[in-house]
């Protein structure tokens, strides 16, 4: 059994069970705008600061041996934001992929995307495909970037694919099952999240991984995403390790 030390901060080597690291961590990166507002800065500064948090969390997850990290980067609902802010987010995505690709590749990270990326600017699509192709043979952390992603949209697109396969007699009605549906989702081949983390004080999923989150542990923090660091990540993992996951059963 692992216990909190008497010191205020967690020490990963002492307090976290390194044999019980979550296989899949999903994060709703929230609070960039409010972080900037609190500092009397434009919202774009918050998004730029959020990129540094991504860099730190990806590195730490890789160090800890996390197999899958899914980051909610841009939702299907985010298009309603001002065009200037949307453009800033797309430019930051391109910059992140260009600037970080070499290090991510050398660190063994695999880059994947979730969501309908066909609606992203062409340059974003090109950089994503380039990053995916460059890292596809890596074997460490799978970094899933959820872009133009929505849980309901994910399920809807899966239902359309299933309907099409039914009409073309590729599958039969009797074949329908939870596992079959799972295989049509964007997360095909990816285990469901063990824990979903949301900073910024909000306590909802906001249309993120709705099917996949059925038995995920939820962990919320008041910290804005730009201030999210490895110590906060350690605390979330520690809390996760001290919960019982019963999946509807009894221990």
The single residue listed with the structure tokens 């990270």 is 109
Q: Is 30 a catalytic residue?
A: yes
Closest Cα partner for 26 from 81, 74, 85, 70?
A: 70
175 is written with which tokens? Answer: 């074949």
Q: Is 78 a catalytic residue?
A: yes
CB 151 within 8 A of CB 205: yes
Task: Please identify which of the residues 15, 20, 32, 78 carries the catalytic annotation.
Answer: 78
Closest Cα partner for 219 from 243, 248, 187?
A: 243
Task: Please identify which of the residues 15, 17, 20, 30 carries the catalytic annotation.
Answer: 30
Closest Cα partner for 132 from 148, 146, 143, 121?
A: 143
Do the bridges between strand 195-198 and strand 24-28 make them parallel or antiparallel, or are there none, so unpaired?
parallel
Active-site residues, by number, are: 30, 78
């Amino acid at each position: 059994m692992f216990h909190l030390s008497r010191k205020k901060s967690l020490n990963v080597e002492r307090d976290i069970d390194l044999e019980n690291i979550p296989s899949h961590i999903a994060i709703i990166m929230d609070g960039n705008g409010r972080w900037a507002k609190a500092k009397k800065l434009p919202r774009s500064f918050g998004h730029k600061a959020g990129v540094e948090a991504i860099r730190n969390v990806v590195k730490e997850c890789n160090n800890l041996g996390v197999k899958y990290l899914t980051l909610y980067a841009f939702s299907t609902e985010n298009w309603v934001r001002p065009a200037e802010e949307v453009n800033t987010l797309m430019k930051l995505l391109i910059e992140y992929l260009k600037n970080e690709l070499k290090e991510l590749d050398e660190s063994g990270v695999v880059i994947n995307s979730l969501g309908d990326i066909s609606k992203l600017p062409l340059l974003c699509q090109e950089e994503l495909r380039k990053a995916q192709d460059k890292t596809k043979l890596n074997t460490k952390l799978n970094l899933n970037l959820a872009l133009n992603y929505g849980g309901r949209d994910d399920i809807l697109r899966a239902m359309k694919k299933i309907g099409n396969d039914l009409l073309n007699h590729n599958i039969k009605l009797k074949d329908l099952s939870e596992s079959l549906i799972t295989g049509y989702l964007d997360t095909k081949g990816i285990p469901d999240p063990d824990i979903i983390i949301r900073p910024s004080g909000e306590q909802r999923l906001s249309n993120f991984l709705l099917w996949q989150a059925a038995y995920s542990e939820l962990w919320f923090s008041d910290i804005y995403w730009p201030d999210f660091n490895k110590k906060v990540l350690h605390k979330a993992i520690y809390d996760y390790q001290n919960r019982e996951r019963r999946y509807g059963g009894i221990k």
